[in-house]
């Protein structure tokens, strides 16, 4: 495998989980101490016991890695879905990623109330509404949500956006269910690099 594709594998397939390699993961030493001392105990090490299962799940991220949907929109969607599902592990990584891309803190903080602010473009709002409807699955995806998304994205992009929502929902479930510790997937990452 060429050097470039190794990088691609890391950046794309592992996308929602790879954020923990971001240097700003623990911003202050004192914070790191607090986090460590209160850390939830991991239930099962999924990378040890379920390596094959986890590898099939990484594949889901492929759809978004080659997408023409802007990465910022995907990152906003990842963060919003992780907020709804309550995945600490994913939230920490997704928000760090947004900040790394020089998104303002307010663009991150106000995601909880994106409908009430003009901080997000019409396109971003259409994507967020689509992602929320598909995450909640309460009575399907309303026609007006579909119409707004269709006005901003091509059919192919809408399928890719859907796969992005599916991917983050999948990672949220793994991390919440088994209380995955940040950095636990480093083993898989190292393995992927060697190939």
Q: Give the footprint of other proteins on this chain (CB under 8 A).
A: 43-44, 46, 49-50, 52-53, 56-57, 59-60, 62-63, 67, 84-87, 130, 134, 137, 139-141, 146, 155-156, 158-160, 162-163, 165-166, 169-170, 172-174, 176-179
What's the min distance (Å) between Cβ of 30 and other proteins?
26
What's the min distance (Å) between Cβ of 139 and other proteins?
7
**Residue closer to other proteins (CB basis): 57 or 119:** 57
**Residue closer to other proteins (CB basis): 45 or 103:** 45
**Residue closer to other proteins (CB basis): 95 or 172:** 172
What's the min distance (Å) between Cβ of 176 and other proteins?
5
How far apart are the C-alpha atoms of 140 and 134, rounded to whole Å?
Answer: 7
How far apart are the C-alpha atoms of 188 and 60, rounded to whole Å?
Answer: 16
**Residue closer to other proteins (CB basis): 102 or 155:** 155
Helical (H) or strand (E) element with 89: helix 88-100
How far apart are the C-alpha atoms of 91 and 85, rounded to whole Å?
Answer: 10
- Measuring CA to CA, which residue among 185, 193, 169 is closest to residue 82? 169
Q: Are 189 and 18 in contact (CB under 8 A)?
A: yes
How far apart are the C-alpha atoms of 74 and 168, rounded to whole Å?
Answer: 10
């Amino acid at each position: 495998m060429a050097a470039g594709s190794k990088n691609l594998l890391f950046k794309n397939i592992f996308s929602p989980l790879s954020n923990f390699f971001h240097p700003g993961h623990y911003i202050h030493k004192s914070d790191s101490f607090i986090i460590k001392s209160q850390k939830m105990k991991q239930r099962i090490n999924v990378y040890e016991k379920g390596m094959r299962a986890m590898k099939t799940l990484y594949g889901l991220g492929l759809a978004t890695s080659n997408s023409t949907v802007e990465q910022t929109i995907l990152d906003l969607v990842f963060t919003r879905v992780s907020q709804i599902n309550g995945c600490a592990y994913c939230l920490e990584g997704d928000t760090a990623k947004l900040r790394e891309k020089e998104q303002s803190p307010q663009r991150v903080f106000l995601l909880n109330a994106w409908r009430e602010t003009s901080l997000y473009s019409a396109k971003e709002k259409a994507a967020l509404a689509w992602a929320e409807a598909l995450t909640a699955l309460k009575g399907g995806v309303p026609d007006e949500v579909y119409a707004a998304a269709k006005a901003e994205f091509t059919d192919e992009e809408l399928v890719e956006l859907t796969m992005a929502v599916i991917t983050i929902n999948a990672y949220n479930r793994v991390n919440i269910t088994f209380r995955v510790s940040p950095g636990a997937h480093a083993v898989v990452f190292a393995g992927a690099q060697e190939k």
